[in-house]
Structure 1
Amino acid sequence: MHFACVPGQERFDVAELIVIRHGQASFGAENYDVLSDLGRAQSRAAGEWLRRAQWHPDRIVTGTLERQIDTASEMGFDPVPEQHPGLNEYDFGNLLEARFPEGLPELVNADRKVHFRTLRETVFAWQRGEIDNPYESWEQFATRVEAARAFALDTTAKRVLVVSSGGVIGQMVAASLQAPAEHMMNLNLQIKNAAMTRFMFSGSLFSLNEFNSTPHYATPEGANLMSYS
């Protein structure tokens, strides 16, 4: 891995934060917040690849969602995970109910393309303040993600592993690049299950090093593990 040091700063002063998206959950099931068998396999593959690369976390932080906690468990590292609710995903179901108070369009849950198109449009409306009475505002979401990031970085650890969800990761990346809010959603929809996004940090330095990386899928067998939802 390669990264540039800021002037006057030694390389060993810079720490790493890897944020991994949870493994595949149970899309379309009554309880989405449960890893599928594929999701568990993805999580184990990510942990095995990091160990082969001799990358062992000194600190682990997850959200409080079951799929995030179980992903960290399946990765099999020693540090006992801490939790921060700011790493939890936004509640898309609530946003849909607020946007469509008379009921969802029929195809939203029946057709994957319609589902994700509706997801994108709903989040854009949320960001513009066009959804009445959401469970949390866009500003509240962005604020809690930033609080979770600050919590993860408030450490002497040199290697921090965070397990979160696509929307949180998209927002963290967009904010690090000082990109417009809409880019959060464009990034969110690209993020693969158990993909790794890496940042470098030291003091006020926080910079993106790698986005949506899946080296653990870079074999014929591993390619069968890839999924996006």
Structure 2
Amino acid sequence: MTTIYLVRHGQASFGKTNYDELSENGEAQAKLLGQYFKNLFTEQPYIISGSMKRHQQTTQISLEQCFPQASYKTDCLWNEFNHQQVFALYEPKFSQPEVLKQDVFKEVDPRAYLAQIFDKAIARWADEAFHHEYDESWMTFQTRIEQALQNLCTELADKQGSEVVVFTSGGVISVVIGKLLELSVQRTFALSWSIANTSITTLKLVNGELQLLSLNEHQFIKSQQPDLLTWL
């Protein structure tokens, strides 16, 4: 059996012009993740990272804690979709990230409000009538992630008993789980709201078939520094 650990990146910079950078919280989360990995793995796993800055930072900071000399493979197929464009094409004023942040945090329940916006923005993105407006349509994104997953399974075919860590994003992990559980688009992206930063989703690969072992493990943060738990 080969075990695949899908890791969501640490908290990024929500509401800033450059979202694609870890916040201080995100850096602290990545350190805790690395310390957890130090206890989890007896040998260095095979490591893959998306090419986005938040993926690379999470990878590097966590590896400093457990396998400081480790090398890893960068694969842009594991990158997140352009959520800022998805928000902006749903509501033009959200093309300014700081406006979205202001709108969200003036609400009594910011998380619920953002979820409402996100659901509507995703519904528009997934609507075939609007596919041509996006740099990457929903169908293209879904196909890319499924290809990344297939490429990994093919690569691991001759590595039985190995362990693999993939540093990626919540939307990517949701698509993987959605494929395995045959979820609708809406249910697939509903998962995004439960996937904590630096949480771990575990799959097993047996005889070429993937199975879900666990989803959104984040007890290693909750038990150590619960104030670091974030979902945005």
TM-score, length of structure 1 as denominator length:
0.86
1:182-197 residue pairs with structure 2 within 5 A?
Answer: 182-197=186-201
Deviation at 1:146, TM superposition (A): 0.9
**Whole-Å separation in 2 of the counterparts to 1:134 and 1:186:** 21
State the Cα distance separating 1:136 from its structure 2 match.
Answer: 1.1
The 3-state SS of whatever aligns with 1:109 is helix
What stretches of structure 2 of length at least 5 have no aligned partner?
A: 105-109
Unaligned 5+ segments in structure 1 are 1-13
Deviation at 1:111, TM superposition (A): 3.0
CA deviations 1:2-33 (Å, max 9, x no partner) are xxxxxxxxxxxx11000000001111122111
Q: CA deviation at 1:54?
A: 3.2
Alpha-carbon offset, residue 55 of structure 1: 5.2
Letter in 1 for 2:3: E
Identity of aligned residues (%): 23
Contact kept in structure 1, 2:15 and 2:100, CA below 8 Å: no
The amino acid of 1:141's aligned partner reads F
Tell me whether 1:224 sits opposite 2:227 in the alignment: yes
- Residues of 2 paired with 1:24 and 1:164: CA distance? 12
Q: Aligned equivalents of 1:42 and 1:21: distance in 2?
A: 11
Please, which of 211, 214, 217 is the counterpart of residue 213 of structure 1?
A: 217
Q: Does 1:172 align with 2:176?
A: yes
In 2: Cα distance, 1:169 partner to 1:64 partner: 15
Contact 2:51/2:79 (<8 A) preserved: yes
| Higher helix proportion | 2
Change (3 A) 1:146 1:55: farther
* Structure 1 residues 163-205: Cα deviation after superposition (integer angstroms, max 9, x where no partner): 0001000111110112222221111111100000000003321
In 2: Cα distance, 1:54 partner to 1:164 partner: 19
Deviations 1:120-162 (A, max 9, x none): 2111221232435111111100111011112333122610000
Task: Note closer, same or farther for the CA distance 1:98–1:105 as it changes in structure 2 (3 Å cut).
Answer: closer
**In 2, Cα distance between the equivalents of 1:139 and 1:105?**
22
CA distance in 2 between counterparts of 1:193 and 1:211 reads 13
* C-alpha contact (below 8 Å) 2:9/2:197 kept by paired residues: yes
Range that drifts further, 59-68 or 111-120: 111-120
Find out whether 1:110 has 2:102 as its counterpart. yes
Alignment of 1:76-155 (within 5 A): 76=63, 77=67, 78-101=69-92, 103-104=93-94, 108-112=100-104, 113=110, 114-131=113-130, 133-153=133-153, 154-155=155-156
Contact (CA 8 Å) 2:84, 2:95: kept in 1 or not? no
RMSD: 2.0
The equivalent of 2:107 in structure 1 is none
Does the CA-based 8 Å contact 2:6-2:167 persist in structure 1?
A: yes
Is the CA contact (8 Å cut-off) linking 1:108 and 1:118 kept in structure 2?
no
Q: Contact (CA 8 Å) 1:167, 1:188: kept in 2 or not?
A: yes
Q: How many residues align?
A: 214
CA contact (8 A) 1:16 1:160 kept: yes
- Equivalence for 2:41: 54
Deviations 1:85-144 (A, max 9, x none): 12111111112333335x449963313333332112111221232435111111100111
Measured against aligned partners, the alpha-carbon deviations of 1:47-103 in whole angstroms (never above 9, x if no partner) come to: 2112213354421111110000110111113431111112111111112333335x4
